[in-house]
Amino acid sequence: MSATSGTGPRFRRLFEPLQVGPMRVPNRICETTNTIRAAQMPGFVDEPFIAHHLAKAKGGTGWIGSETFLLNSPIPQEAAEEFFPGTGAVRVPLFAMPGFSESVAKFADAVRETGAVTVCQLTQLNFTMAASSVPLVEAYDWVPHELDSEEIKQLIRTYAEAAVKFLEAGVDGIEIHCAHETLPQSFLSPALNKRSDEWGGDARDRTRFLREVLLGVKEQVGDRVALGVRVNGQETREGGYDLLELREMMSHVAETGTLDFVNVDVGHSWGGPSYVQPSYYGHAVYREAGKALKVDLEGIALLFSGRVNDPGIAEQLLEQGCCDLVGMTRAGIADPEFANKAREGRLQEMRRCIGCNRCIAKSVKDDAPTLFQKPTCSVNPEVGNELFYAANAGPAAEKKRLVVVGGGAAGCEAARVAAKRGHEVILLERGQRLGGQVNLASAAPGRDAYDDFRIFQENQLEMLGVDVRLETELGAAGVLDLEPDAVACATGSVPRWPDTPGLDPAEVVQGWDVLAGQAEVGERVAVVSQEDHFETPNVADYLAERGRRVEVFHKWMGIGAEIDRYSIGPVMTRLVEHEVVFHTGMRLASVTKGKLEFRSAFGGRTHTFEGFDSVVLVYGSVPDARLYYELKEAGTAARLFLVGSAWVPRLLAEATQHGARVGMEI
C-alpha cells in the first residue's frame, strides 16, 4: 500500500490516490457493496445495473463495489427448493452461466474508463447451512444444517472457481464477504461455531475456513487482482467475538500474506447495532474498529464504513488514522455525484443521505422488487430508474409555466425537476417553510437528518430560480390568475379521523399536532395507533423523551411492522429505555374523560383502561385534494396534476418519485 500526492485543498486526503496491492484507487471514496437489485433481471449485470453503479463512478467515487455475487452452496440434489427462498442459498451460481464474465467485463471496462476501480464481492450468504446448527440471524428462528468437512471443502472451492471468472472479466479487486451473517462469519464466531474438529476451537482455528478461502483464491489470481476481506468489527451478540478477539483473528488471517485490504464495519442485520445504520446513529460511531485494525494490519489498506454521508466526516476519519479508505455507500445512492461536488467545492448542491434505509428495506424484501417496482431512494428518485431519467429528464422542448401548490416532498421535487428542465416555476406554500411532512419526521428524536432533505430542496430551488412564495394560499381562482400552463396540486394529506362512533374531538389530539409542537399533552398519555411505519414510535418517543408516561395501543400484532430490520433496533431500544408500555390487538371503541375502551382485534372481548390525561391518535393520513377538484370544476385549460400524498399517502420515496415524474411530464 502506498500513497502519492493528490488534489483538492479542502479534502486533501480524500482525493489522494492509494495503491492497494496491484490496484490503484484514484481516491479514498468507496461504494462498498450494496445489493440494491438495480438489474432488470435480479442478479445479472445488465444495462440498468451498469447505469446505476456507473453513475457513481462518473460522479467521482473511486472504488465501485456494486452488488454482491452469490456463490453456489452444496445443496443436496434431493432437497426440496422450499428450503431455500429468502435464505440466500444458491444451487447454480451466476458465475457459471454463459456470458457471465463478458457481462462483468463490460461493467469493469466502463468503470475503468472513468478512472475508478471495480471490486467484486464473493458471498456465501446462506442461512441454510453454517459452521454449526445455531441460527445466524437472531430475527429468524431458522436453524441451519451443520456442514461436514466434505461440504466445507466444496464451499471453499466455490470462491476460487468464482475468482477465476472475475479475473477473466478484468475486475480490479475481489472481496471475500465475512461479515453480515455470511457463512464465513459463522466460522469466526464463538457464538455460532461450536465445532470440535479442525474448523472450530480457539480464535486461530476459527479463522481456518477464511484462511483456506483466501489461499484458494490467491492461488488462482496471484498478484493480478487486489484481494481483501469484509469483516464485522464486533459481533454484539451474546457470546460473540468483540473487537479485541477480532484483532487477534485478523492477525492470524494476515499471516497468510494474501490480504491487500480489509473492509471493516460494525453491526448485524437485525435490531442493534445495525450495519446499515439509520439516522438514529451518529456518524461513523464505530470508527474505533477501523482505527484499531489499522494499527494491527500495517501495510494492508483499511476500509471503514458506517454512516459517513459527508466528505468532511470522511476527511476527518482519514486524518484521525481510522482508515485509509472510506465507505460512503448510501451517500452515493442519495447523490451519485457527491464526490465530484465535494472536489469542486459545490457542497451546497449535495443531496445528503438522510439515513431512512428505504434503499435496503426494499432490497431485502422478497415480495417488493419486481420488474415494475424496484428499490429506490427516498431523496433521489433516479435510483433504480437511471435509464428512464436519462431518456426523459433532459431540457424541455418548450418552456412552460408550472404552478406547484404545496411545498412538501412531492411539490418541491416537481418544482425542482421542472425548473431544471428549463420551465418557469412558481411554488406556493401556505406554511412558513418548505418540507411538509418531512418537517414532522425531523421533529422526532433521532431523525433530525430529515432536515437535510428540506435544506437540499431550498438550495436547489433557489439556484434554479424557482419563485417560492411562502405563507401563500391562493385558492383555485388565485392560482389560475397566475396563468399557468400546468398546475401540480401537491397539497398533501391530513390526519385520518377514526371511524369510532361518537368520538368527541375535544377528547383527543392528533399525533401530527404533537410532533409540530401544537398540542397540549398531559402527564399520562395513551397513543392509539392504526399506523405501521415510523409515525407511531416517533410520537411515543417524542412524548416519552419529554417526560410523559406513554402507553401505546396498536390495532394489530405490534407497532412498526413496516419498519425494516436494519432500523427497528434503535427505534425500539429508545421506547424500551423510556419504559413505554405496549398493548396489541386493540381497536378503539370509545374515549370518555381519560377512560378508553377497546375491542380486541382477535375476538369480541372489550378492554377498559383509565386514568389518562391525554389521548393521541396516530391513524395515518387521508389525501387533501380539494384544490385539484376545484380547479377541475373551474374548467381551466391548464394541465392539472394531483401529486404525492394529495393523490395517495405513502412514504417519502413515493412522494419524491411522483413529483419528479410530474416535473418530467410537462
H helices of 33-148, where?
A: 47-58, 100-114
354 binds ligand SF4 (CB under 6 A): yes
Question: Which range of residues in 4-12, 33-41, 405-413, 583-591 is near ligand FMN by CB under 6 A?
Answer: 33-41
Interaction between residue 355 and ligand SF4 (CB under 6 A):
yes
Distance CA 176, CA 387 (A): 31
Q: Is 357 an interacting residue with respect to ligand SF4 (CB under 6 A)?
A: yes
**Considering the rule CB under 6 A, would residue 34 count as an interface residue with ligand SF4?**
no
Half-sphere exposure of 606 (CA within 13 A, CB side): 8
| Nearest distance from C-beta of residue 123 to ligand FMN, angstroms | 7
d(CA 412, CA 405): 9
Contact by Cβ (8 Å): 191, 235: yes
Residues 434-453 that bind ligand FMN (CB under 6 A): none
- φ and ψ at residue 64, rounded to 5 degrees: -110, 110
Q: What is the DSSP letter of 72?
A: B
The values of phi and psi at residue 665, to 5°, are -75, -30
Among 84-92, 375-383, 581-589, 613-621, which window interacts with ligand SF4 (CB under 6 A)?
375-383
Residue from 379, 409, 487, 509 that binds ligand SF4 (CB under 6 A)?
379
Name the 3-class secondary structure at 635: coil
Candidate segments 94-102, 311-319, 373-381, 401-409, binder of ligand SF4 by CB under 6 A: 373-381
Among 211, 230, 352, 400, binds ligand FMN (CB under 6 A): 230
- 25 vs 308 by CB, closer to ligand SF4: 308
Q: Which three cell numbers stand for residue 194?
A: 461450536
Q: Least distance from C-beta 385 to ligand SF4, angstroms?
A: 14
C-beta of 73 vs 309, nearer to ligand SF4: 309
Smaller CB distance to ligand SF4: residue 232 or 274? 274
> Binding to ligand SF4 by residue 377, rule CB under 6 A?
yes
The closest of 378, 320, 372, 324 to 351, measured between CA atoms, is: 378
Of residues 177-206, those binding ligand FMN (CB under 6 A): 177, 180
Longest dimension (CA), the chain: 82
Question: Does residue 656 bind ligand SF4 (CB under 6 A)?
Answer: no
Which positions ≥6 away from 97 have C-beta within 8 Å? none
Contacts with ligand FMN, 98-127, as mask; x by CB under 6 A: -----------------------x------
Options 95-103, 153-161, 255-263, 377-385: segment touching ligand SF4 (CB under 6 A) = 377-385
Q: Is 358 in the site for ligand SF4 (CB under 6 A)?
A: yes
Applying CB under 6 A, the span of 114-122, 328-336, 516-524, 613-621 interacting with ligand SF4 comes to 328-336
Provide DSSP, 546-605.
Answer: TT-EEEEEESSS-TTTTS-TTTHHHHHHHHHHTT-EEE-SEEEEEEETTEEEEEETTSS-
Nearer to ligand FMN, 56 or 423 (CB): 56
* Interface region with ligand FMN, contact rule CB under 6 A, candidates 27-35, 88-96, 136-144, 294-302: 27-35
User: For residues 584 and 374, what is the distance between their CA atoms, to the nearest angstrom?
Assistant: 32
Asked if residue 230 lies in contact with residue 121, where contact means CB atoms within 8 angstroms, the answer is yes
